[in-house]
Amino acid sequence: MRLIIISDIHANLEALEATFRRIDEINPDKILCLGDIIGYGPNPNECVKIVKNKVDISLSGNHEYGVLGRTELQSFNKNARIACEWTKKVLSDENLAYIKNLPVSVVDEDILLVHSTPINPERWDYIFTARDALYQFMEFSEPLCLVGHTHVPVCFGERGTCVFTDGGLLFPKEGTKYIINFGSVGQPRDYDPRASFGVIDTEERKIQLVRVAYDIEKVQRKIIDHGLPLFLAERLGTGT
């Protein structure tokens, strides 16, 4: 089975469309989305609609929780808070109803899917380091746990960190658990501004990180036109 994993789209329509053009070439069996469809970017309604129509399993992230009032907006930084408040104003009732029903964690194909962390996923903690990952391994029994939230692609093996190779390929060892983050479609923060997503071939035990270029300037202009914080436009250009 060939699975596609997308996460942290953040209302970036151009990045999402470019990502789906590549996904269509791969012809996957299933598409999974790990949350944060909205927030930061200028096209929340369009992005929710695409996810609703094309994604098989979709999770909630902290930005959905922020817009729904389930997570205090005070816990967000200023730019995220301004974007969340703007998103709340423009999101249609139909799309609001869709994000209301998204779960925070799901097990599918013997893979744990969660936006933030296996331990207490609604606390929205981050897994940045091997040390952060260490405690999380005790919380799940599946061989793979897929996370988003940091916007930084990384793979942690239960017995030490393992990184994606230059071609983005990783072959997991049998009998070892992994926590993998495929980065962000709509706001990458690993100094590579291209959209980022993952492909897992469960038969071949092949895991691949894919990067896709998109029209960043178009999104930056929309962010500025909507009066969203300038920093949110600038960071797309630098991948930070």
The residues of the shown chain that bind Zn ion, judged by CB under 5 A, are 8, 36
Q: Which is nearer to Zn ion, 9 or 199 (CB)?
A: 9
Q: Compute the distance between CA of residue 220 and CA of residue 240 in angstroms, rounded to an integer.
A: 14
Smallest separation, CB 163 to Zn ion (Å): 21
- Taking alpha carbons only, the member of 61, 64, 62 closest to residue 99 is 64
Query: How is residue 163 written in tokens?
Result: 């990184």
CA pseudo-torsion sign 190, 192, 193, 195 = negative
Q: Compute the distance between CA of residue 237 and CA of residue 16 in angstroms, rounded to an integer.
A: 16
Smallest separation, CB 64 to Zn ion (Å): 10
Q: Which is nearer to Zn ion, 149 or 222 (CB)?
A: 149
Q: Which is nearer to Zn ion, 8 or 190 (CB)?
A: 8
Helix (H) or strand (E) holding 221: helix 216-225
E-strand stretches of 60-194: 105-108, 111-114, 144-147, 154-157, 160-162, 169-170, 178-181
Q: Which is nearer to Zn ion, 185 or 207 (CB)?
A: 185
Smallest separation, CB 40 to Zn ion (Å): 8
Phi, psi for 5 (deg, rounded to 5): -120, 120
Smallest separation, CB 7 to Zn ion (Å): 7
Query: How is residue 47 written in tokens?
Result: 């992005």
| 3-state class (DSSP) for residue 94 | helix
Q: Compute the distance between CA of residue 149 and CA of residue 10 in angstroms, rounded to an integer.
A: 11
Q: Which is nearer to Zn ion, 162 or 196 (CB)?
A: 196
Smallest separation, CB 27 to Zn ion (Å): 27
Contact, 11 vs 41, CB < 8 A? yes
Smallest separation, CB 221 to Zn ion (Å): 22
Q: Which is nearer to Zn ion, 147 or 162 (CB)?
A: 147
Smallest separation, CB 208 to Zn ion (Å): 22
Residue with smallest beta-carbon separation from Zn ion: 36
Q: Which is nearer to Zn ion, 10 or 222 (CB)?
A: 10
